[in-house]
A and B are shown apart, each in its own frame.
Chain A
Amino acid sequence: MATDPDQIDENFYDQLKKHYSIDEIVELGTFIGMNIGYHTFYGTLDFYPMFSPDGRLIDQDESRKIYGTEVKSLTGRGT
């Protein structure tokens, strides 16, 4: 849904229905839609995790050094 929504077609929904109820598919679809929206927007806001991988509370400068400036999940999107 995020990278190639054309792949989410009738056949895909038929496959989903073998494993999930209709209500569960609606739940997943809205959850994914919200996450597509939020992660892209938040990726543009240039803020970083509050904690280091080992659990220390860190400031944004240190976090940026640890986690990098590129939002990897967005790389190549929109091209």
Chain B
Amino acid sequence: MLNIQPIPIEEVKDPELLELMAQAKELGVPDEEFILVLARVPSYAKPILKAMLMAHTQGNVSHSLKEMMRIQLAKFAGDPYFSQLRSKKALAEGLTEEQITSASDDYEDNPHFSEADKVALRFSDQMYLDSQKVNKAFYDEMKQHYSDAQVMELGAMMVLHYGMQVFMRTLHPKSSSN
């Protein structure tokens, strides 16, 4: 049982929120547990969920790469809920559990990841563990592989998802946390 209980799904009446929930269900991230906690405050739930879905699935950077970054961040955040969810879209694109595991571990040595993949994974790896390393030299390296717009796209995606992962982590009673 979470520290804040989700509301019953029958209580969600807002058509925009219901549409966003349908999009999230199709994607698989986030699932209803998180959304129904958020749905206690519909005025927050709609823009946050919309931004999470947009940042994860739209833009000009590979969705599968973002999915690996999202799961890596969830593991660092210590959040068992978000780290276990998987994007159905990324899996359909061919993303494997081996790649997901490597993205949170030995990605630097994995020959199957491109240099562009590796620097993006380092971006999410360092951002909330040691942000001092995400400095000018790091951004210069990022810009060899990504446009400024793509860097901001990845940054915004990390911001939204990591922030909600940290909040969700606190909602799990400690006895049930991984």
Q: Which residues of A line the B interface, CB within 8 A?
A: 1-2, 5-6, 8-10, 12-13, 22-23, 25-27, 29-30, 32-38, 40-41, 43-46, 74, 77-79
22 contacts between A and B (CB under 8 A): A8-B170, A9-B170, A10-B173, A23-B40, A26-B40, A26-B41, A26-B44, A29-B170, A30-B41, A33-B164, A33-B167, A37-B159, A37-B163, A40-B159, A44-B131, A45-B139, A74-B131, A74-B132, A77-B131, A78-B128, A78-B129, A78-B131
Q: Contact at A32–B167, with CB atoms within 8 Å?
A: yes
Q: Which residues of B line the A interface, CB within 8 A?
A: 3-5, 37-38, 40-41, 44, 48, 77-78, 127-132, 134-136, 138-139, 155-156, 158-167, 169-171, 173-174
**B131 partner residues in chain A, CB cutoff 8 A:** 40, 43-44, 74, 77-78
Distance in angstroms between the alpha carbons of A78 and B167 in the assembled complex: 18
**B41 partner residues in chain A, CB cutoff 8 A:** 23, 26-27, 30
